[in-house]
């Protein structure tokens, strides 16, 4: 970790009335606990080496790499299109946005035009993905607080409907492999779009349900408010993106800044938090789900006809001219970028992923210092990571 | 007020408790082996090889061009080309695979092989109950296991199969016309993919 | 209505049955046989109820979460508890090498013995208490206090950090919540003037305009009942106070190192503890075995007791399906800084109620005091915890 | 002097002895609990329900737990290497014997003074309550004050430590 990742200020004790049991500087009764890689609440194989003073965290070292699959090196040895299914496996909750980011990077590299209809489809699928990702993130977060899975099951109930849509369009529920360079793979039928409209019409009921179930719950407030505070300057310095950054009050949404795709045609707002604690991160996700529904409603109103893939695009014998390109999108977890260098061959010369999960996770120690072990679990849950993307 | 949020939460779970008895929208669970979900047409699991007619060995559309083997991202396909030739789906003399294995423990169901195949020979299956007690051998599907009839293809992906059939019929007519002409010089070479086909 | 012979016999069917059975024996062994019979019935009845409860819990939680719950064993999965029982009986009993074998073995045994003893004083119907002890309530709490020791023994003897932490948490929590639990019951004792649970039920078994005189229908009774519920939830380590076994932090708490039959005993102990504390709550505040309406008096008294008990269990399950759990320091703060002042206020209000005499004045005054104190405490609590609802701004 | 008395007495004494003689401190604490429980049963055997249940509630529910917690928090649950016996054990024995002698003397003398040891007075919980807030209200209040003072003292000690480390 570089120096800029460290908090400039003394880490604040997060609203916890625990007296330090030893003199500062004396490490008398410190307890070292390795949380993970086989711990129920580490979302997969992830380890946190925690040094505890009583129940207070005084050091935390995230250890990752247990799920490393050599994604970038593999991608440099296979053709461009063959990497597309591999991007599904980065953040396996939102494969469609991963596809989109990679397709965007290649489109920039080659200069392909995306047809209108494909742009609309990408927006619809991207926002559905964002919705189901945020829903399950909230579910997992509350699950870690011990709610025996109720919000998680509600989230999965809605996610089920969205995944059914994905399956009936792309053939797979999670590993969609749907976007292609310069468009999309399959043209959806009118019935499919009607189905989407029906599902989207039911989504506000779900956000309201989660809202009633959780938002004003005193236990949730007591557990999450003032816990895991991430100050805006630290967040910016550490390169945090996505809902986590916005929960700290920084207005940074790539959908607004880059307006990639056709996001500039839709009206939506970017919710911003003030304190940057776990509750803010939960609320920002909930509010973003509502904005996603707004975008979906606008996009579904008039999906234009026409081709869904640039006729110049081809799958076999795809050799971009030498050059480089960086394509980034606002993935549900933050800025997902793909950096490509082409040397004119069929395989990329360099292929690099900028994973939001990994970058957002680097700040974990600064948020957890002074918190209790029980809080570490929910702070970790509020970061919203998928280990497939962290370790690649 | 203190306690209000707790009561609201309790009301919500109570609503779901009773709602799960009346609304199928809430209770999405299906008791799997006895009841099954309606099959989704686009669903894909593992690839299979399509053959026409009744005999799978004679009717196999695959011409062992090995494009899918090359393009497969996890490299789970293994093909051995034949020495002799047999007529393919459109009636031309082509090679055929003497060996065509797919290791489904490696396959990641990405459908790239289907997209790159110029002969509509490999398609995605929907069969997912492939559990076996042999970790290695049991998960390698050979030619015989992979070969499924065109009728089966029509059964699982009717729309796509109809498109493919229309295309193949057109090509069959074309090649029949060409075969009628005396200069059938490139009959042995693999057909270039028709335009528009991916 | 109870005077009607058929109603009377239905009501007293178990009592009459027992008398008839004992009447077959020589008179010298009759007292001992009577006790033995009752004990055997209790020891068989509540594990059976435990089995029923596990299936209700799993089904109910499932339905609350839009799942089906267990559905494989028997029709609609109702044989699941039998399968679970066979499983836990036949599983290997693993004792860690470094564990303290004797204490490790004694802990679940002690827990189960102790939780069953609580039923000795609970009146489960008219004339259906095992013993009519003068200090019945005191007995109940004394017995309840002993469960802490078994929890500690389990956690300590396992020689596991998680177990020990879970046990310490559990014991600290149980001691803390015993105070509001006891004090909320003291209000009932103050009004009834007796520690005998039979007398407490009798005192509530009156009707005005067909409505019962249960203590929950008084301001102090309602407040006491709510605090009793909270404290009982914490006493039994149920969600949202299930920190001792908080699986996201402590794996399984004090019974991490238990398996097979010993684990089943802990599980049984937890549920039987729930039954006994629910029974106590029903006895103290919900009129025990008395019917909710005078016209319903023809239904046997034991039916009412057990339906109240099961209703309480369903509330436990409902809460488990809804709430996230608290953090340890918040849990302690809640007991000492919120429940304790409230329950002390409630004691004061109860005394006021007792000495103000009949009339609307005591209703108004007692309600007002309780509401004002509750609102003030709640606001102070939320302010000191720095939490509350928030508003969010949007960037266009 | 019934059979039950002998059994309970033997249990109590065994618990007390085990508390002194066992090597593991946590085992000692648990043995003390057995002695407490035996004492409570003795009370119950004498028909003193209130005293018996109060004994269980206070000594098993609170004191035993306190002892156990104290042992664990000071991290001395392991057996000391140089044995559990103090070097000047005979002094302790002497003190114990002296106390036992005084108690025995007092008991033997009071038996002679008691009017009729066959008549067991039926004391209900209500009577104990009446006596506590009636005749003995002053001692009760003094004890309560003492305990409150002790508790505040404990809190102050704890607060002081916190202030110092800050």
Tell me the sheet residues that pair with A61. Answer: A49
DSSP-derived secondary structure letter, D115:
S
pLDDT score of D86: 65
pLDDT at A20 over 60: no
ipTM: 0.78
In chain A, which residues have their Cβ closer than 8 Å to the Cβ of C61? Answer: 148
Is any Cβ of chain C less than 8 angstroms from the Cβ of A63? Answer: no
- Whole-number percent of chain C with pLDDT over 90: 0
Backbone angles phi, psi at A350, to 5 degrees: -140, 140
| Max Cα–Cα distance, chain A, nearest Å | 71
In chain D, which residues have their Cβ closer than 8 Å to the Cβ of C171? Answer: 65, 69
pLDDT at B24 over 80: no
Is any Cβ of chain B less than 8 angstroms from the Cβ of C323? Answer: yes
Tokens encoding D107: 């008991």
- D6 vs C231: CA distance, rounded Å: 39
Chain segment C349-367, per-residue pLDDT in tens = 888 888 887 778 888 888 8
**C-alpha distances in Å from residue C58, one per residue of B68, C67, C287, C340:** 49, 10, 29, 33
In chain A, which residues have their Cβ closer than 8 Å to the Cβ of C395? Answer: 251, 253, 256, 269-270, 272
Chains D and B touch (3+ CB pairs under 8 A): no
D14-52 residues labelled b (16+ CB within 10 A) or e (exposed): ebbebbeebebbbbbbbbbbbbbbbbbbbbbeeebbbbb
- C256 vs C164: CA distance, rounded Å: 10
Min Cα separation B181/chain A (Å): 31
pLDDT score of A3: 37
pLDDT score of B180: 64
Average pLDDT over residues A83-107: 89
Picking from A318, A389, A267, A386, the residue whose alpha carbon sits closest to that of residue A78 is A318
Domains of chain D: which residue ranges?
A: 1-80, 121-166
- Probe site for chain A from C374, C387, C388, C391 (most A CB atoms < 10 A): C387
**What angle separates helix B4-22 from helix C30-64, to the nearest 10 degrees?**
80
Put simply, the answer to whether C66 touches B2 (Cβ < 8 Å) is no
**C-alpha distances in Å from residue B94, one per residue of A154, B67, B88, B91, B188:** 55, 15, 6, 9, 6
**For residue C119, what are the contacts with CB-CB under 8 A and spacing of at least 6?**
C42, C46, C130, C276, C279
Q: Which chains touch C (3 or more CB pairs under 8 A)?
A: A, B, D
Tokens encoding A387: 């280990």
Chain segment A46-69, per-residue pLDDT in tens = 888 888 877 788 888 888 888 888
- Probe site for chain D from A13, A17, A18, A19 (most D CB atoms < 10 A): A19
- A48 vs B187: CA distance, rounded Å: 64
In chain A, which residues have their Cβ closer than 8 Å to the Cβ of B4? Answer: 216
pLDDT at B195 over 50: no
pLDDT score of A14: 44
**What angle separates helix C197-204 from helix C161-192, to the nearest 10 degrees?**
50
pLDDT score of B186: 47
A241, A242, A246, A252 alpha-carbon torsion, rounded to 10°: 70
- DSSP letters, C90-106, are HS-----TTS-HHHHHH
pLDDT at D52 over 90: no
pLDDT score of D80: 58
In chain C, which residues have their Cβ closer than 8 Å to the Cβ of D26? Answer: 100, 103, 156
pLDDT at C143 over 50: yes
Min Cα separation A376/chain B (Å): 24
One-letter-per-residue 3-state SS of A48-61: EEEEEECCEEEEEE
Upper half-sphere CA count for residue A303 (Cβ side, 13 Å): 26
Q: Which comes out higher in pLDDT, residue C127 or C227?
A: C227
- B65 vs B75: CA distance, rounded Å: 15
DSSP-derived secondary structure letter, D62:
I
pLDDT mean across residues, chain C? 83
**C-alpha distances in Å from residue D54, one per residue of C172, C196, D19, D149:** 20, 15, 22, 22
Q: At B193, is the pLDDT very low, low, confident or very high (cuts 50, 70, 90)?
A: very low
Chain segment A236-281, per-residue pLDDT in tens = 988 899 898 988 888 888 888 887 888 888 888 889 888 888 888 9
Which CATH number is associated with domain D1-80? 1.20.120.1200
């Amino acid at each position: 970790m570089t120096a800029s990742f460290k908090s400039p200020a003394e880490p604040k004790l997060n609203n916890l009335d625990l007296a330090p049991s030893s003199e500062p500087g004396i490490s008398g009764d410190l307890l070292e606990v390795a949380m993970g890689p086989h711990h129920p609440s580490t979302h997969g194989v992830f380890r946190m080496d925690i040094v505890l003073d009583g129940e207070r965290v005084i050091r935390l070292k995230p250890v990752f790499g247990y799920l490393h699959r050599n994604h970038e090196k593999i991608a440099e040895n296979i053709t461009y299109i063959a990497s597309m299914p591999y991007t599904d496996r980065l953040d396996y909750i939102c494969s469609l946005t991963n596809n989109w980011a990679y397709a965007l990077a290649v489109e920039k590299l080659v200069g392909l035009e995306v047809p209108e209809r494909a742009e609309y489809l990408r927006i619809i699928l991207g926002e559905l993905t964002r919705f189901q990702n945020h829903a399950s993130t909230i579910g997992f977060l509350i699950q870690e607080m011990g709610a025996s899975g109720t919000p998680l099951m509600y989230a999965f109930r809605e996610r089920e409907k969205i995944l059914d849509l994905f399956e009936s369009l792309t053939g797979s529920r999670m590993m969609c492999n749907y976007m292609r360079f310069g468009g999309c793979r399959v043209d959806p039928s009118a019935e499919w779009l009607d189905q989407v409209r029906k599902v989207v019409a039911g989504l506000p009921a779900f956000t309201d349900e989660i809202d009633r179930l959780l938002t004003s719950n005193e236990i949730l407030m007591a557990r999450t408010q003032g816990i895991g505070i991430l100050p805006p300057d630290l967040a910016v310095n550490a390169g945090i993106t996505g809902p986590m950054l916005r929960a700290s009050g920084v207005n940074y949404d790539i959908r607004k800044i880059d307006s990639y795709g056709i996001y500039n045609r839709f009206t939506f707002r970017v919710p911003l938090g003030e304190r940057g604690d776990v509750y803010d991160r939960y609320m920002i996700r909930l509010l973003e789900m509502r904005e996603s529904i707004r975008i979906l409603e606008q996009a579904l109103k008039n999906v234009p006809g026409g081709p869904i893939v640039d006729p110049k695009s081809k799958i076999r014998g795809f050799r971009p001219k030498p050059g480089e390109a960086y394509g980034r999108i606002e993935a549900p977890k933050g800025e997902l970028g793909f950096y490509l260098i082409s040397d004119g061959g069929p395989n990329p010369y360099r292929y690099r992923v900028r994973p939001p999960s990994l970058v957002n996770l680097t700040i974990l120690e600064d948020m957890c210092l002074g918190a209790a072990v029980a809080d570490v679990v929910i702070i970790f849950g509020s970061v919203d990571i998928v280990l497939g993307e962290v370790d690649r | 007020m203190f306690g209000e949020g707790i009561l609201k939460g309790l009301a919500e779970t109570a609503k779901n408790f009773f709602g799960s008895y009346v609304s199928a929208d809430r209770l999405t669970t299906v008791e799997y082996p006895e009841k099954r979900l309606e099959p989704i047409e686009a669903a894909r699991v593992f690839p299979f090889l399509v053959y026409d007619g009744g005999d799978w060995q004679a009717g196999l559309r695959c011409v062992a061009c090995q494009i899918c083997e090359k393009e497969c991202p996890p490299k789970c396909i293994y093909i051995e080309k034949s020495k002799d030739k047999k007529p393919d789906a459109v009636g031309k003399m082509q090679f055929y695979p003497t060996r065509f294995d797919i290791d489904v423990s490696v396959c990641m169901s990405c459908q790239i092989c289907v997209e790159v195949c110029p002969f509509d020979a490999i398609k995605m299956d929907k069969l997912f109950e492939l559990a076996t007690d042999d970790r290695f051998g049991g998960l390698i599907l050979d030619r015989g296991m992979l070969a499924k009839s065109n009728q089966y293809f029509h059964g699982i992906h009717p729309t796509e199969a109809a498109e493919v059939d229309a295309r193949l019929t057109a090509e069959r007519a074309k090649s029949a016309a060409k075969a009628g002409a005396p200069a059938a010089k490139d009959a042995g070479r693999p057909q270039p993919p028709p335009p528009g086909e991916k | 209505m109870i005077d009607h012979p058929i109603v009377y016999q239905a009501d007293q069917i178990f009592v009459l049955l027992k008398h008839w059975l004992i009447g077959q024996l020589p008179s010298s062994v009759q007292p001992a046989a009577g006790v033995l019979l009752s004990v055997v019935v209790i020891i068989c009845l509540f594990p059976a109820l435990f089995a029923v409860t596990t299936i209700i819990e799993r089904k109910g939680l499932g339905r609350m979460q839009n799942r089906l719950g267990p559905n494989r064993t028997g029709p609609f999965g109702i044989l699941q508890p039998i399968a679970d029982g066979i499983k836990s009986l036949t599983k290997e009993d693993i004792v860690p090498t470094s564990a303290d074998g004797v204490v490790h073995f004694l802990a679940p045994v002690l827990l189960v013995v102790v939780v069953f003893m609580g039923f000795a004083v609970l009146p489960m119907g008219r004339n259906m208490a095992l013993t009519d002890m003068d200090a019945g309530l005191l007995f109940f709490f004394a017995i309840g206090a002993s469960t802490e020791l078994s929890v500690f023994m389990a956690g300590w003897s396992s020689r596991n950090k998680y177990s020990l932490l879970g046990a310490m948490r559990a014991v600290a929590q149980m001691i803390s919540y015993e105070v509001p639990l006891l004090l909320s019951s003291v209000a009932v004792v103050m009004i009834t003037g007796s520690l005998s649970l039979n007398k407490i039920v009798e005192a509530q078994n009156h009707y005005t305009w067909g409505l019962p005189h249960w203590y929950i229908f008084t301001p102090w009774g309602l407040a006491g009942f709510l605090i009793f519920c909270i404290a009982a939830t914490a006493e039994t380590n149920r969600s949202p106070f299930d920190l001792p076994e908080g699986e996201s932090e402590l794996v399984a708490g004090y019974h991490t190192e238990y398996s097979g039959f010993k684990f089943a005993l802990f599980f049984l102990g937890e549920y039987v503890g729930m039954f006994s504390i629910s029974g106590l709550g029903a006895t103290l505040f919900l009129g025990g075995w008395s019917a909710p309406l005078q016209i319903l008096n023809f239904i046997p008294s034991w039916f009412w007791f057990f339906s109240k008990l099961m209703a309480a269990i369903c509330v436990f399950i409902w809460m488990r399906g809804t709430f996230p759990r608290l953090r340890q320091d918040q849990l302690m703060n809640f007991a000492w800084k919120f429940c304790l002042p409230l329950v002390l206020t409630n004691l004061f209000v109860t005394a006021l109620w007792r000495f103000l005499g009949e009339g609307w004045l005591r209703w108004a005054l007692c309600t007002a005091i309780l509401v004002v104190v509750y609102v003030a405490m709640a606001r102070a609590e939320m302010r000191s915890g720095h939490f509350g609802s928030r508003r969010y701004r949007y960037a266009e | 002097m019934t059979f039950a008395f002998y059994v309970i007495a033997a249990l109590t004494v065994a618990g007390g002895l085990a508390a002194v003689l066992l090597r593991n401190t946590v085992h000692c604490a648990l043995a003390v609990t057995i002695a407490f429980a035996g004492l409570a049963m003795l009370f119950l055997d004498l028909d003193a329900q209130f005293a018996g249940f109060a004994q269980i509630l206070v000594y098993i529910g609170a004191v035993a737990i306190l002892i156990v917690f104290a042992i664990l928090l000071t991290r001395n649950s392991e057996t000391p290497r140089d044995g559990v016996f103090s070097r000047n054990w005979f002094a302790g024995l002497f003190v114990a014997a002296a106390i036992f002698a005084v108690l025995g003397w007092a008991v033997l003398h009071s038996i002679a003074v008691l009017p009729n040891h066959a008549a067991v007075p039926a004391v209900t919980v209500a009577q104990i309550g009446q006596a506590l807030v009636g005749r003995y209200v002053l001692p009760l209040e003094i004890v309560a004050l003492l305990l409150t003072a002790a508790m505040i003292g404990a809190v102050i000690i704890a607060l002081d430590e916190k202030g110092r480390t800050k």
